[in-house]
Structure 1
Amino acid sequence: MFHVAIVALPGCHASGVHGIMDFFTVANFVGDKPAGRRQPLFDCQIITVDDEPVRGYSGAVVTPTISRGAFQADLIVVGSSVEAVVGADRLDQALAPAIPLHGWLKEAAARGTVIASVCTGSFILAEAGLLDDQVVTTHWRAAPMFRNRYPHIRMDADQLLVDNGQIICAGGASAFVDLCVHLVERFASPSVALACSKMLVLDGRRMEQTPYMAFYSQKAHQDDAIRKAQTWLEGHYADPVTIDEIAVVAGLGTRTFKRRFKEATGETPIGYLQHLRIEAAKHLLESSREQTARIIWSVGYEDASSFRRLFKRMAGCTMEQYRKRFSYVSLSAA
């Protein structure tokens, strides 16, 4: 039997914690059938820092099923720990409740326990010093904050799931489903994982977060000239603009402008403009039945092939695939 501990933290994604429990319960059910197995494949338990119930982000209460000290796990799954949009000024406060887990996680890792995180649970593993020399992912919205706090850790937020062997990270909150499929496949068998997917009516495992990402302009900086340029770009992204013109809006020389823009936003001016145009195209793909060629022209591109390549690189899929997945406009409305 494989022992699994799910760590529920204050403010966690409560349905994710219970969803993991449910998934492993289904794995026990379907895994019992082929061989008439009497012992479950997985012993899955919920634990908390102090063995007391915690209140999730939604207000739902998550109750531990066993004392942390009484359970030695083969696999530990750390659920979401902070809001993906929490400000950097509140991050220390949000991470503080998990500090007592750091030593416990290190000891478990030293014993060879596999440790996984879901969503912003990656912050807890980073705080415990378990992500050095690892490739990690987290919720795409929290990725910039993660990079700022842990610049020495390689973050690949495009990936929905990264398995380093002993350390596994999954992206956004609902990625616990993809993680569970992967874990059951790895620690039981591919056939049991497939049976779980069929029983729970799940699609094939997703591999990337990229299609779900949205661009949010970084204006939480102190450079008023750059903020002025950002605001101007947001209103003129469809125009044929040059870097020199944007620098004039900011009241800066071109070289100074490019340097300060990168320092303030983390993006080059051209990269920022591309993000704005991609987001505008996404909105039109979601909200209209406009032809893709017209969408490309409307966001400021004349070279359709070039924009399509850019869109696929930044969104992780073609414009047609994006529309099929995210459009909320019915064909009858065309």
Structure 2
Amino acid sequence: MTAKTQIDIGLVLYPGAQISAVLGLADLFEIADRAAAKRPDTDLPRLCVGQWTFEEGRSLPSPPETGGDSDVLILPPTLNAPASPEAARPIAHWLRERHEGGCILASICGGAFLLAETGLLDGRSATTHWVYTEAFSRRFPRVAVDTDRLIIDDGDILTAGGLMSWTDIGLKLVDRFLGPTVMLETAQMLLVDPPGREQRYYSGFTPRLNHGDAAILKAQHWLQTTGARDTSLTVLAKQAGLEERTFLRRFHRATGLTSSEYAQRLRVGRARERLQFGTLPVDTIAWEVGYSDPATFRKVFRRIVGLTPSEYRQRFHIG
């Protein structure tokens, strides 16, 4: 089988697409293409980038000037609300047809809503921006959304999390088509980290408060006010005015977490603020947020954030 001499990458300009990400991706692939061309000892394909433009009221996009199908189609982020089902449907139909023809599909941030509308993510794991977790799960219940991860690469479909994760997905594709050496050269030229970060390094804990269960909301407010220092089932159930077994069931249904997990995330959130803006030792912070055992605190912090407290402070400290 003869290797491809050109990889056609299509950037999908749907209504509301973030133009800076589109232009940034085009620049990233141009830098990678130039780096690959300077390596005379390798037979690497050229990267050809074009834009497929959807306009309001059109079911098919205007193709790139180069014409022809793309090997990869990338859905950029949006600064607006994610596309509604009605707006996404014609784009999703076109994307599904391209995928059936062998095209790789990739989404960034809110672009995942367009990709999920195709049905191709059903039964798979996918990521989007962490602020969309609840809305995405509600709209696409058959997709296993994992917003702790910045990139999920399933081979034929890739999804990335935050607005700026276009750099990560761009470098991921450069690595796939041009190899790790060119990918690292491109990252160095752009002064960005190579792929390997996780979205949970950056995401904060946003409690679910609009569930409509007034009893559970009382317990949530009490946990927030007290810093989740007392998380015993007896105390929490009393705050909610519920029998203990009923409280456990309703708390999980309302928040998506057990009361212990919920309290841990509140405590870790407070610890992150102290690590980012203060200089207290980690052991002292552990005690302040409710952990008598610093080792337990470090274990919980790493499980939730993906970094140790010291690594988090080193990366994000302001002062």
TM over 0.5: yes
- Whole-angstrom CA distance in 1 between matches of 2:231 and 2:279: 27
Paired residues of 1:219 and 1:227 also in contact (CA < 8 A): yes
In structure 2, runs of 5+ residues without a counterpart are 1-5
- Whole-angstrom CA distance in 2 between matches of 1:78 and 1:107: 15
Q: Deviation per CA, 1:249-300, whole angstroms, max 9, x where unpaired?
A: 1111111111111111111111111111010000111111011111111111
Paired residues of 1:77 and 1:117 also in contact (CA < 8 A): yes
Helix, strand or coil for the counterpart of 1:168? strand
Report the counterpart of residue 294 of structure 1 in structure 2: 284
Report the counterpart of residue 11 of structure 2 in structure 1: 6
User: Of the candidates 168, 178, 183, which is equivalent to residue 173 of structure 2?
Assistant: 183
- Is residue 129 from structure 1 mapped to residue 151 from structure 2 by the alignment? no
- Whole-angstrom CA distance in 1 between matches of 2:150 and 2:231: 35
- In the TM superposition, residue 71 of structure 1 has moved relative to its aligned partner by 4.0
- Whole-angstrom CA distance in 2 between matches of 1:195 and 1:208: 21
Helix, strand or coil for the counterpart of 1:77? strand
- In the TM superposition, residue 144 of structure 1 has moved relative to its aligned partner by 2.7
Q: Percent sequence identity over matched residues?
A: 35
- Residue range with higher mean Cα deviation, 290-299 or 98-107: 98-107
- In the TM superposition, residue 44 of structure 1 has moved relative to its aligned partner by 0.5
- Is residue 79 from structure 1 mapped to residue 79 from structure 2 by the alignment? no
The amino acid across from 1:172 in the alignment is G
Paired residues of 1:48 and 1:68 also in contact (CA < 8 A): no
- Is residue 323 from structure 1 mapped to residue 313 from structure 2 by the alignment? yes
Q: What are the residue-to-residue correspondences of 1:45-194 with 2, within 5 Å? A: 45-50=50-55, 66-67=63-64, 70-81=67-78, 94-194=84-184
Report the counterpart of residue 247 of structure 2 in structure 1: 257
- Whole-angstrom CA distance in 2 between matches of 1:298 and 1:157: 28
The amino acid across from 1:72 in the alignment is D
Evaluate the alpha carbon distance shift between residue 95 and residue 67 of structure 1 in structure 2; reply closer, same or farther with a 3 A threshold: farther
The amino acid across from 1:78 in the alignment is L
- Whole-angstrom CA distance in 2 between matches of 1:323 and 1:265: 29
Q: Deviation per CA, 1:47-85, whole angstroms, max 9, x where unpaired?
A: 221399xxxxxxxxxxx99559944111100112575xx
In structure 1, runs of 5+ residues without a counterpart are 53-63, 330-334
- Whole-angstrom CA distance in 2 between matches of 1:50 and 1:240: 55
- In the TM superposition, residue 248 of structure 1 has moved relative to its aligned partner by 1.1
TM-score (norm 1): 0.86
Q: What are the residue-to-residue correspondences of 1:200-239 with 2, within 5 Å? A: 200-239=190-229
- Whole-angstrom CA distance in 2 between matches of 1:30 and 1:68: 24
The amino acid across from 1:135 in the alignment is S
- In the TM superposition, residue 130 of structure 1 has moved relative to its aligned partner by 1.4
- Residue range with higher mean Cα deviation, 309-318 or 140-149: 140-149
- Whole-angstrom CA distance in 2 between matches of 1:246 and 1:75: 51
Report the counterpart of residue 26 of structure 1 in structure 2: 31
Paired residues of 2:128 and 2:162 also in contact (CA < 8 A): yes
- Whole-angstrom CA distance in 1 between matches of 2:93 and 2:228: 52
Structural RMSD (CA): 2.5
How many aligned positions are there? 311
